[in-house]
Amino acid sequence: MPPMRVYYFTPGQFAVSNIAFRRIKVARFADLNDPFELLGADLGDPKYRQAFRNTKETINKDRGLICLTRGWSNPVVWGHYADKHRGIALGLDIQNDMLNPVHYRRTPFKITIDLSGPKPRLERSVVDKMLRTKFADWKYEDELRVFVSLDHNTKEEGHYFVTFDHNVMLREVILGARCELPIDRLRQLVTGFQPAVSVTKARIAFRSFRVVIDQARARADRLATLPGAEPKS
């Protein structure tokens, strides 16, 4: 099965760093902006809460994630995750078996916990739901997650990274409508990537609430590459 094209939104300076170092930052569950992260279950029974707290702490210690979305045209995603449209969307080809879709719910899911042992224990199916359940109003993100086992020996100033390779391959760089980074600088940064990486500029659509490719800029770029074109000053 071919890999799936998904998108990672980030402020411009972090995108430049990602491209230059050919890697992407791994997020930590404790740092995400949803206070219900890993708490999507019905915890009305107090006997269940300690098991969830223990499991949540273990997950955050040993596992990180990369948060992605299926498309890049939603202006709300740009506003929330790409520095109010001043940032960049990175288009990545990722192997399908690495991608985990988020499940959006109006109510927490019901659970049962094994209380027979010395400590309450969560079944694997419950842990899987913990990792992928969010409140329904987050549905606009259309989120897919890549879960990463953290290698604490590779930590850099408290951060973890996944290197671009055949499993996580950079294919597109889309500058936001308000991004002021010079597009030529980004094109220089992706020189040498195989397969080649496209670099384009986005704009706000004229007839819909969407973000689209700036076709006028794209045409000008194509003309500039034709034989006999005047070099850019």
pLDDT of amino acid 123: 83
Contact partners, residue 73, CB within 8 Å, separation at least 6? 210, 211, 212
**Under a CB-based contact definition with an 8 Å cutoff, are residues 220 and 184 in contact?**
no
Q: Is the peptide bond before 46 cis (omega within 30 degrees of 0)?
A: no
Higher pLDDT, 1 or 17: 17
Contact 159, 116 (CB under 8 A): no
Does residue 36 have a pLDDT over 60? yes
For 48-68, write each residue's pLDDT tens digit.
Answer: 888 888 888 899 999 999 999
Percent of the chain with pLDDT over 70: 93
The answer to which of 3-17, 77-91, 103-117, 181-195 has the lowest mean pLDDT is 103-117
Lookup result for tokens 């078996």: 97
Where does the pLDDT of residue 233 fall: very low under 50, low under 70, confident under 90, or very high at 90 and above? very low
Between 46-62 and 124-132, two packed helices, what is the crossing angle to 10 degrees? 70
pLDDT tens readout for residues 150-205: 999 999 988 999 999 999 999 999 999 999 999 999 999 999 999 999 999 999 99
Domain ranges of the chain: 4-224
Q: Is the pTM of this model over 0.75?
A: yes
CA 105 to chain centre: 20
What does the block give as tokens for 1?
């099965």
Q: What is the pLDDT of residues 207-229, one digit of tens each?
A: 999 999 998 877 777 666 556 55
What average pLDDT is seen over the chain?
A: 91
In this predicted structure, what is the pLDDT of residue 113? 78
Q: What integer is the mean pLDDT of 96-113?
A: 94
